[in-house]
Amino acid sequence: MEKKIILFLATLLVAVILSGAVSAADVSNQQVGVASGQVKKYVETEASLPSAVTVGSENVTSPQFLYLLTKSTTNVNSGISSSIAIKNLAVPSKPSESVKSGTLTKSQYITVANSINQFINTNGRLPNFANTNLGTMRYETLTYTYSSIMNFYNTNKRLPNYVSVKPWSTISKPTTPTNTSVPPVQADSKTPLKVTSTDPANYSYNIPTTKLIRITFSNPIYKPNSTKIKLETYSDQVNVPLTYTIQGNSIYIDHIPLKNLRTYRLIVYSNFVQNSTGNGSTYYSFRFKTKTTNLNSYSARLVIPKMGSNIQIRSDTLNANNAIYHYTNSVYFGTPGECAMIGHRTTWTAPMRKIHTLTTGDLIYIYDYTAKKISKYQYQYHEILPNWKLSNNWKKSGPSMLILKTCHPPGSGANKYIVYAKLVSSLPL
């Protein structure tokens, strides 16, 4: 009897060990490389680190991602292609930095990556800083630096010979709004505010129907006048609703999905925008032709930093792990009107579990990899409504709003918890 008990316990122990080994999530160097480009773009756009990063099919925190970055960097350098186990790591408690701008050679950043990996393996946490030839670097700077390295690897299939380094205080410094930037008055007053380039270019063909349009002017701009611009079908002059985002000399124009295989004309009338001295822009127009885009087959994710969420957006089903369903009879992401989605709160990994934690001003992002744009929304308010009061007749024009729905109370189908967020900007991804 005693031998049977011992044998049972030994078998149970082996099973536990094996189950732990199987459950550990692994990612590849290639998956880290793909994710690094997304993180690099996020930092350069938002001047902060994302709270969650999707690596392959796994969601990780920024500290976890830094470990994956440094480990994959050393693996690639050593020709190691084996997968990397995700570690549970917290944000450093006392990060500090004293680093100067400059470059690290390949041998230098490999040495730093090895030291970070050794520290993590020994202490089970991230270091507060890492010693480099340029000074001490905090984990945010390290994350951005190694994202740049692995993004280079993902694009060029080799590690870079060197990497540029900037202090985090410089990277995270908010960009001064263009309307407060005042170039020399005399220069502006003598230089007409003209269109210098457009994307798409004039007479372009095969333009995606969800294309984010960019117009670049000769000087920094502000104050777009909605009555001074028009996007229309070229043959019958049917207007297309627009939204705008200004960044420096450029204005990004979003719109409802265009018709397939149609020619469109965008007209920028005189005084559509102004420069810092109040000079208006000159007249400009250009044409382009669209190509077929399957709007029900896209690659997009809903990212909510406050909730630590990075959720797949689907048009085919609600019932999938870590997914939210986009009502296809509502508008496309970032365009005028109401973009509506619904997700589970208690099942299918409960992507909307923490939706009640959102408060006024919290940011919500849609990363649209099909249209190659980032739609940035800001939480306005929420309401709780019984199902009989709900309507799925979404507005197709007016302010660009994101509507997120889930069950309320959690696990009950009696009511819906509904979040309303307003579009802040649409920028290239």
CA-wise closest residue to 37 among 110, 137, 146: 146
Q: What SS3 state is found at 127?
A: coil
Query: Per-residue b/e over 224-235, b at no fewer than 16 CB within 10 Å?
Result: beeebbbbeeee
Q: What pLDDT is stored for residue 200 in this prediction?
A: 94
What distance lies between CA 53 and its chain's CA centroid? 10
Q: What are phi and psi of 33, to 5 degrees?
A: -60, -45
> Any idea which residue has 């001490």 for tokens?
136
CA-wise closest residue to 421 among 383, 370, 364, 375: 364
Q: Which residues of the chain have pLDDT under 50?
A: 1-24, 174-189
Angle between helices 29-46 and 62-78 (to 10 degrees): 130
CA-wise closest residue to 72 among 60, 62, 80: 80
Determine the Cα–Cα distance for residues 59 and 86; give it in Å rounded to an integer: 10
Q: What pLDDT is stored for residue 296 in this prediction?
A: 63
Bridge partners of residue 421, in order along the sequence: 379, 402
Q: What pLDDT is stored for residue 294 in this prediction?
A: 67
Q: What pLDDT is stored for residue 93 in this prediction?
A: 76
User: Which amino acid does the sequence have at 272?
Assistant: F
DSSP classification of residue 369: T
The 10s digit of each residue's pLDDT in 88-134 is 887 777 888 998 888 899 999 999 999 999 988 888 888 888 999 99
Determine the Cα–Cα distance for residues 376 and 364; give it in Å rounded to an integer: 6
The 10s digit of each residue's pLDDT in 314-328 is 999 999 999 999 998
Residue 206: how many CB atoms within 10 A of its CB?
Answer: 11
User: Which residues have CB under 8 Å from 153's CB, separation 6+?
Assistant: 29, 33, 73, 76, 159, 160
Here the tokens at position 27 are 């990612």
**Do 81 and 153 touch, CB atoms closer than 8 A?**
no
Residue 310: how many CB atoms within 10 A of its CB?
Answer: 24
- Residue 160: is the preceding peptide bond cis (ω within 30°)? no
Q: What pLDDT is stored for residue 401 in this prediction?
A: 96
DSSP classification of residue 155: H
Return the domain boundaries, the chain. 26-171, 178-291, 300-428
CA-wise closest residue to 205 among 264, 268, 285: 264
What pTM, to 2 d.p., does this model score?
Answer: 0.57
User: Which residues have CB under 8 Å from 193's CB, separation 6+?
Assistant: 217, 218, 219, 221, 273, 274, 275, 279, 280, 281, 282
Determine the Cα–Cα distance for residues 118 and 224; give it in Å rounded to an integer: 53
**Do 35 and 55 touch, CB atoms closer than 8 A?**
yes
Determine the Cα–Cα distance for residues 201 and 117; give it in Å rounded to an integer: 47
**Do 242 and 252 touch, CB atoms closer than 8 A?**
no
User: Which amino acid does the sequence have at 9?
Assistant: L
> Any idea which residue has 């939480």 for tokens?
379
Q: What pLDDT is stored for residue 310 in this prediction?
A: 92
Determine the Cα–Cα distance for residues 311 and 354; give it in Å rounded to an integer: 13
The 10s digit of each residue's pLDDT in 222-264 is 888 889 999 999 999 999 999 989 888 899 999 988 999 999 9
Determine the Cα–Cα distance for residues 182 and 109; give it in Å rounded to an integer: 39
Here the tokens at position 414 are 């009696």
The 10s digit of each residue's pLDDT in 78-93 is 999 888 998 888 777 7
Q: What are phi and psi of 161, to 5 degrees?
A: -75, -25
Burial of 50 from C-beta contacts in 10 A (0-12 / 13-18 / 19+): buried
HEC readout, 302-326: EEEHHHCEEEEEECCCCCCCCEEEE
The length of the chain, given as a count of residues: 429
CATH architecture of the region 178-291 = Sandwich (2.60)
Segments in 158-292 forming alpha helices (H): 168-171, 185-190
Determine the Cα–Cα distance for residues 152 and 155; give it in Å rounded to an integer: 5
Q: What pLDDT is stored for residue 11 in this prediction?
A: 44
CATH architecture of the region 300-428 = Beta Barrel (2.40)
Q: What SS3 state is found at 102?
A: strand
